[in-house]
Structure 1
Amino acid sequence: MPRYFLTWEIDTDGGTPVEAAGHAFRHMRRIDSHACVFSVFDEQGEETRVDFLELDEDGVIDLTDADPARAAFRALQAKLEDVTDAETAQQIVDDVLCRTRTS
């Protein structure tokens, strides 16, 4: 099986390198985090940029091991992206919450 080296970048402030790393770590773990873009290097050093928000929804990537709450939040974000009225937005939220509770 091939091995890969991955990086994720963020600009952040911190009094020390450890504080800055802690801030980045907390940001990455937030449920609403957009920490989803990685540079992936193969064994030959070739870089591939992977952006989970740009992958299509037809199973291009299997996120079954991902945090279910984060996956549900991302699905909700995608559904609400172009919604302009509160009533439609509430219907979408109610639908997603109902399906989340029954799964």
Structure 2
Amino acid sequence: MYNVISEINKLEEKYGEEFNWGTDLKPEYFETELKRETTIAPFKSVKAIARSYSNDDVLFVLDDEVYRIYHLTYSGGNPRYQEFTDGQAAVDYIEKRFLNEYL
């Protein structure tokens, strides 16, 4: 089974301190913020599993099957998001974006 957290940790090891994503976060804080900023219906379960250290992007898994990176606004309004069909697609996107924007 593909473990998103493990794969993001591997990217941190691969790219070192320059890598701008990680799994060191307080998930409850980001889950509460997402619920405050948007309606996530029909999803029942929301888990923050990784975050960008360089912007307000957070990777969530909804109902253990849908992966979304939300750009939280912290000022109300609807945050934009990118949705992925599985965890591997989300991790691939994070790595590709890092390579395109930071290296």
TM normalised by structure 1 equals 0.25
Could you say which structure has the greater relative contact order, defined with CA pairs below 8 angstroms and 6 or more residues apart? 2
Question: TM-score normalized by structure 2?
Answer: 0.25
* Larger strand proportion of the pair: 2
